[in-house]
Amino acid sequence: MKLTEEQVRYVAGLANLTLTEAEIHQYAHDLSDILTHIDKLNELNTDGVEPMAQVLFAAEETATLREDEPRPCLTNAEALANAPVSGQGYYKVPRVIER
Amino acid sequence: MNIPSLTISSVRKGLADRTFSAVELAQEALAFAKAENPKTNAYLTFSDERALAAARAVDAKLAAGEDPGVLAGVPVGVKDVISTRGVRTTCGSKLLEHYIPPYDATAMERLEAAGGVMIGKANCDEFAMGSSNENSAFGPVRNPVALDRVPGGSSGGSAAVVAQGTAVVSLGSDTGGSIRQPASFCGCVGVTPTYGRVSRYGLVAFASSLDHIGPFSRTVADSATVLTAIAGRDSRDATSALHEVQDYAAAMQQPLQGLKIGLPKEYFAGLANETGDRIQAGIEVLKQQGCEIVDVSLPHTEYAIEAYYIICTAEVSANLSRFDGVRFTTRSAKAETLIDMYKNSRGEGFGAEAKRRIMLGAYVLSHGYYDAYYIKAQRVRSLITRDFAQAFEKVDALITPVSPFPAFKLGEKVNDPLQMYLSDIYTITGSLAGIPCMNVPCGTTAEGLPVGMQILTKHFSEDLMFRIAHQYEMSGGFSA
């Protein structure tokens, strides 16, 4: 599977990534290489095989559920401490809606 | 005190005999680690304050005649993808250079509750993605055994601190081999437990269905003790297992007589090199211990890398979407609109490998490709898991290599991502199945580079895995 630079730009958009022209060129090459290798999976007939999303082992069905009880969480100041820009107890981002 | 030769039991004895206090040990370990670190760049941050506070707590318990815990006073290195309250956690990424977690990972909490003393955060590939530790934004780690070589990855720093002697044990994380492969390159013990055995709460997510936390150490007993301390159910991680935690160190004294050990033929084809010779010598040691060696087949092995790099990148593209310039410390200065803020913050913040995997993941999940790639890979994952289940009907454990070659030179594979991915061939299968697997050293090449042997057992059979590893170590296997 070959990926064109145009497809790389499209995928970068899906992934919310700004890439330089040099990166686009590089990733078109790298991803094509990797995807060509990955095409090997098509040799394998997987009809009727269940997809495995998670490691499974024997456990009771509701074993991972707990009571929904309130408990302490981070304070507002702790939650905001790593924000690049915050104010008045909120995260700040560039204006989304024009007045 | 000779810091590099300490073990958990020698620390316990030193504290009990009053040869040193926990605070004295922490101070000396910190001083030694800081002096040695420039050689390898294995630590990114030293946590003096936290180490001394933990050591004082141990001394206070000892003075009061209370049990200070199984890891009392033991200097520990913690991989920098594991959240540590108040101590910078970079994930090896420029994007998180100044990130200070407001809470501890469960594994960290349990480590400290058992008396462990974290002295610093260990370098790693950015967001734990890599096989050489060359993807760290803060420079590569050098292998303490041969400074011109990589320590392996992604937990390269965690392996290096143990091999270098600047920590007694360390915590790493493993998604496709990131504990076992660096352990094999640096010549130490590295353990990937059953998926869900150790809570992932506070482990910065890479690929959630594959991420594991596990220990590194210089002896099997030390990894067994650490795992016993950090394992177990945690209500903050819904995938953490309810199965009772065993005392792994106590379970490993029994001889190996009569055990059936399988050698999967797919792992030994094309291994006619020094690595293969060392592993054959290791298998010989197990034979002498009374193990019956049986050939087995894991027929879908050859599809594992392809399935893995679809599944893990798909999960990466979802997990790393949280780094968008809003909550986590770094925002592009060039952002005027919201969407540009996302795109530029991510474009400037992530390194090359992180971007490559995000892109691959976004592609395989995108409209029209989801079934062909992602669902297909999940079906293959089922087949690989079934292979193991069938093999374990015939044998108690499997022995394989960890890496097809010993530590390579810095820069040797960095420009060829596909070759780098292919080097994970022997570790990825166990990760996909979620079974316990570990590296034990088995001698060195003529050049003096460590070779590692992998032991794999059934889900939650860590006791058997440690028993094989320990008996192997006791019968001289590490230098086989």
Q: Which amino acid is at B442?
A: C
Closest chain A residue by Cα to residue B374: A51
CB contact under 8 A, A17 and B377: no
d(CA B450, CA B442): 7
B178 is catalytic: yes
Q: Check: CB of residue B266 under 8 Å from CB of residue B302.
A: yes
Interstrand relation of B75-79 and A86-87 (parallel, antiparallel or unpaired): unpaired
Mutate to test the interface with B, among A41, A42, A71 (most CBs of B within 10 A): A41
Q: What is the DSSP letter of B374?
A: I
From the list B83, B170, B178, B431, the catalytic residue is B178
Confidence at residue B418, expressed as pLDDT on a 0 to 100 scale:
83
Q: Check: CB of residue B193 under 8 Å from CB of residue B228.
A: no
Domain boundaries, chain B: 3-251
CATH fold, domain B3-251, is: Amidase signature (AS) enzymes (3.90.1300)
Place of tokens 């394998």: A44
- Nearest partner of B122 among B103, B106, B136, judged by Cα: B136
- Number of independent structural domains in chain A: 1
> Which of A17, A34, A95 is facing B360, going by the closest CB pair?
A34
> Which of B243, B326, B377 is facing A91, going by the closest CB pair?
B326
- Residue A12 belongs to what domain range? 5-43
d(CA B40, CA B152): 13
Query: Alpha helix (H) ranges present in B350-475?
Result: 352-364, 370, 376-394, 417-422, 428-433, 462-474
Question: Quick check: B241 contacting A, CB < 8 Å?
Answer: yes
Q: What is the DSSP letter of B251?
A: G
Question: Quick check: B318 contacting A, CB < 8 Å?
Answer: no
Angstrom distances, CA of residue B141 to CA of A77, B124, B156, B218: 35, 8, 7, 19
**pTM > 0.80:** yes
From the list B47, B131, B132, B154, the catalytic residue is B154
CA-based nearest distance B163→chain A, Å:
32
Three-class HEC string of B171-205: EEEECCCCCHHHHHHHCCEEEECCCCCCCCCCECC
Domain annotation covers residue A18: yes
CA-based nearest distance A39→chain B, Å:
8
From the list B79, B121, B413, B458, the catalytic residue is B79
CB contact under 8 A, A96 and B338: yes
Q: Check: CB of residue B457 under 8 Å from CB of residue B412.
A: no
CB contact under 8 A, A52 and B381: yes
Domain annotation covers residue A36: yes
Domain annotation covers residue A16: yes
Q: Is the dihedral of CA B119, B125, B130, B132 positive or negative?
A: negative
CB contact under 8 A, A33 and B418: yes
ipTM of the complex: 0.94
Q: Check: CB of residue B83 under 8 Å from CB of residue A74.
A: no
Q: Check: CB of residue B155 under 8 Å from CB of residue B81.
A: no
CB burial readout B344-379, b (16+ within 10 A) else e: bbbbbbbbebbbbbbbbbbbbbbeebeebbbebbbb
Q: Which residues in chain B are contacts of A49 at CB distance < 8 A?
A: 379-380, 382-383
Helix, strand, or coil (residue B160): helix
What is the rounded end-to-end Cα distance, in angstroms, of chain A?
47
Helix, strand, or coil (residue A2): coil
Angstrom distances, CA of residue A97 to CA of B338, B340, B408: 10, 15, 53
CB contact under 8 A, B376 and A57: no
Q: Check: CB of residue B176 under 8 Å from CB of residue B427.
A: yes
Q: Check: CB of residue B305 under 8 Å from CB of residue B421.
A: yes
Half-sphere exposure of B388 (CA within 13 A, CB side): 27
CB burial readout B96-122, b (16+ within 10 A) else e: beebebebbbbbbbbbbebbbbbbbbb
Per-residue pLDDT of chain B (480 residues; tens, 9 = 90+): 899 999 999 999 999 999 999 999 999 999 999 999 999 999 999 999 999 999 999 999 999 999 999 999 999 999 999 999 999 999 999 999 999 999 999 999 999 999 999 999 999 999 999 999 999 999 999 999 999 999 999 999 999 999 999 999 999 999 999 999 999 999 999 999 999 999 999 999 999 999 999 999 999 999 999 999 999 999 899 899 989 999 999 989 999 999 999 999 999 988 889 999 999 999 999 999 999 999 999 999 999 999 999 999 999 999 999 999 999 999 999 888 999 999 999 999 999 999 999 999 999 999 899 999 999 999 999 999 999 999 999 999 999 999 999 999 999 998 888 888 888 899 999 999 999 999 999 999 999 999 999 999 999 999 999 999 999 999 998 987
Angstrom distances, CA of residue B342 to CA of B61, B129, B326, B347, B395: 49, 21, 8, 8, 51
CB contact under 8 A, A93 and B460: no
CB contact under 8 A, B329 and A84: yes
d(CA B381, CA B433): 7
B265 is catalytic: no
B155 is catalytic: no
Confidence at residue B416, expressed as pLDDT on a 0 to 100 scale:
86
Q: Which residues in chain B are contacts of A91 at CB distance < 8 A?
A: 326-327
d(CA B216, CA B188): 7
Q: Which residues in chain A are contacts of B434 at CB distance < 8 A?
A: 55, 57
CB contact under 8 A, A23 and B355: yes
* Ramachandran region, residue B93 (left: φ > 0; alpha: ψ -120 to 50; beta: rest): beta
Confidence at residue B439, expressed as pLDDT on a 0 to 100 scale:
98
CB contact under 8 A, A34 and B238: no
- For residue A90, what is the enclosing H or E element? strand A90-91
* Burial tier of B302 (Cβ tally within 10 Å: 0-12, 13-18, 19+): middle
Confidence at residue B479, expressed as pLDDT on a 0 to 100 scale:
85
Q: Check: CB of residue B29 under 8 Å from CB of residue B116.
A: no
Interstrand relation of B212-217 and B169-174 (parallel, antiparallel or unpaired): antiparallel
Give residue A86's Cα distance to chain centre: 25
